[in-house]
Homo-oligomer: A and B are copies of this chain.
C-alpha cells in the first residue's frame, strides 16, 4: 500500500503529478487533512489559506504543467511578504500587516506552479524570542528557530516543502531539531527582495524538505539553476565526495549526543577500511563567532530602526537586549568585524585542503525540552558569516530519541557539489 500523499516527498509527488497519476487537489486535501489533525498540537501556522490553496490546486489541475513545483504545497515563513496573506514578521507590531506584494521568491514559487498553503510561524523578527510552535518529534521540545513553523510543518508532513531564512542558525538549527533536511545556499545566491531584512551581510534564504532531492528541487525551481536537480542516484555516483570531518572551534559546546553523531558518522564512513580526513580550521576562525554576533547586533539596530523608534513597547525583552548590545558596537568596530570576515572568506577555500566538503555539527545537541528558547546557534553562526553553502542531514537519534544530525558545508558557490555530497552522505548514514 502506498504512503498517504501528505507523507510523500516533493520529488515523489512531482513525478506522479507529471505523469498525471495524482492531482494537485488530492495532494492539497491530504495535507490539509493532516494539518487539521495535527495543528492544534504543533501550531506551525500563523495563517492558513485552505480555501485559496484548494482553488489554486483545482486551477492547476485544469492547466498545463507550469514549472518544477507544479501542484506542490509550500509553506512560507512569515518573514516573507505575501500579497494575499497577512505577514507579521513574528511581531505584534505587524499583527494586521498586509503587504502590497509577494517577496521575490514567493512570486517565483507561484510562477513555478506551487500551491502556497499559508504562512508559517517565525520567531520575533527571526531572532530569538520563540513563537507558539512545538516540535512534532516531542511536543514539549522547541522546534528550533527562527524558521520554527516551516521546520515543524515539513517534519510533521503538513507540507513537503517550506521556505526558511538564516541570519545566525535559522535554517539549519530548526531542520536539525525537527529531523528534516535544510539547505542554506551560498550567500547572495537567492534574491531577498520582500523578505524583512535583519542583516544585509548575513541574511540568507533557504529551503526545507524531507529529502536532499526535495531541497535541491525547490532551489532549482526558484533559482532557474536546473542543474542543481536532478542528480544521479547515489549508488551511481562515480565521484565519491572527499569528506573532511571538522569539529570547528566551537567543539567544546557539543554535548554527548552531537559527539556521538560525529562518531557514528566517522564509523560508517570508514567502514571497509575507507579513509577520512580531519580538518582543523585556521586559528583566525576562532574569532568569527563573536564577529558574527556583533555584526548581527549592529545591523539589527539599523534594520529595526523604525520599530525601535516607534514601537519599543512591543519589542520583547529578549530582542531589546540584543538591540541594546548592538548599540554598543561602534561603526569602527563593525568595519573591523567585516574586514575580519572578508579575510576569513578569502582563506576558507584553501582551508578545505583536499576535501570537497566538510562534515560538521549542526547544533550542540538535540532540541532542548523547553518552549522558552529556540536552542543554541553556536555551530551555525560562523558558516553563515562565511557565506558557505550548508545542508543539514538528519540520521541519528539522541539518547532521548529526539533527532540529531550533521551539516555538510561546501566551498563558496559550490552549492551543486554540496547537495550531491549531502545526497551521498544521507545514503551512507541514514538508517534503512
Contact = CB atoms under 8 A, between A and B. Distances in A.
Interface of A: 83, 94, 97, 99-108, 110-111, 188, 191-194, 196-197, 200-201, 223-225, 299, 302-310, 330-331, 335, 338, 413
B107 A331 contact: no
A304 B191 CA distance: 10
A305 B413 CA distance: 23
A305 B94 contact: no
Given A188-B200, A192-B197, A331-B225, A306 B104 contact: yes
Contacts of A103: 306
Given A94-B100, A188-B200, A193-B197, 8 more contacts: A83-B310, A101-B306, A107-B305, A107-B306, A107-B309, A191-B299, A193-B196, A193-B303
30 contacts: A83-B306, A83-B310, A101-B306, A102-B305, A102-B306, A102-B310, A104-B302, A104-B304, A104-B305, A106-B306, A107-B308, A107-B310, A108-B302, A111-B309, A188-B201, A188-B338, A191-B200, A191-B299, A191-B302, A191-B303, A192-B197, A192-B200, A193-B200, A193-B305, A194-B197, A194-B306, A223-B331, A224-B330, A224-B331, A225-B331
A83 B100 CA distance: 14
Nearest to A191: B302
A232 B310 CA distance: 36
Contacts of A191: 197, 200, 299, 302-303, 305
Contacts of A107: 305-306, 308-310
A106 B307 CA distance: 12
A106 B303 CA distance: 11
Contact of A101 (B83, B104, B193, B307): B307
B97 A100 contact: yes
Contacts of A192: 197, 200
Contacts of A304: 104, 193
Nearest to A190: B302
Nearest to A226: B331
A104 B307 CA distance: 9
Contacts of A224: 330-331
A237 B61 CA distance: 73
Top 6 closest A-B pairs, CB basis? A191-B302, A107-B305, A107-B306, A193-B197, A102-B306, A101-B306
Contacts of A330: 224
A304 B111 CA distance: 13
A274 to B, nearest CB: 33
Contacts of A200: 188, 191-193
Nearest to A305: B107
A326 to B, nearest CB: 12
A286 B234 CA distance: 44
Nearest to A82: B306
Nearest to A195: B197
Nearest to A98: B100
**Residue of A107, A110, A305, A310 most packed against chain B (CB within 10 A):** A305
Contacts of A309: 107, 110-111
B413 A108 contact: no
A308 B193 CA distance: 14
